[in-house]
Amino acid sequence: MLVDEAMEILYDEIEKTLNWKFIKSRKTFKKVVEDLVFEITFFSSKWNKSYENIEIQCEFRLWCKKFGKSYNVNSAVGFFSLNPLNESWWNITTNFHLENTLKCLREIIKSKVIPVLNKFETNVSTAANDFAKEPLFSEYNISVQFIDMYAGREQAVAISKKIYADLNEKKGMK
């Protein structure tokens, strides 16, 4: 399969699953809810070669317009990789590999991305509060500044203390 052909099929099929705006130049699907921007961004390997090897990575990002005009270190609220288990890259070299990747990505999007979006669409403060309390924090890398703004200072302080305690535990300190 040609690299461009594989990528086009991938984007078309993911667009059907998400129904979000696709920004081709950034290889990014985007959905805006109030001041929050939800994105799924794709990255292709520099080693991709038609008919031989075509691989991609993707990442879910959540950022806040109040912190910046684009996704950057200041605006980032949370993110997680949408990569295969124990692998860094999705293989989309052949129709078989592409279909398998699409099946897995659809499942990951439905089980991880959509629930996050739904929580924030329902109520931003409640969602922020939930993410502050749930053990999903490390998986979703939620920003303490965001928790402070949307869930309240008490939650932000609790998370900060947990992060500090976890860091000390990893270093063998108490």
More confident residue, 37 or 70: 37
Interacting residues of 105 by C-beta distance below 8 A, sequence separation 6+? 14, 17, 58, 82, 90
The predicted model gives 19-45 an average pLDDT of 95
pLDDT per residue over 54-68, tens digit each? 999 999 998 999 988
The predicted model gives 89-97 an average pLDDT of 97
CA-wise closest residue to 75 among 67, 66, 86: 67
pLDDT per residue over 136-149, tens digit each? 444 445 778 888 88
Neighbouring C-alpha atoms within 13 Å toward the C-beta of 40: 26
159: left (phi > 0), else alpha (psi -120 to 50), else beta? alpha
C-alpha pair distances (Å), 2 with each of 25, 49, 102:
19, 8, 17
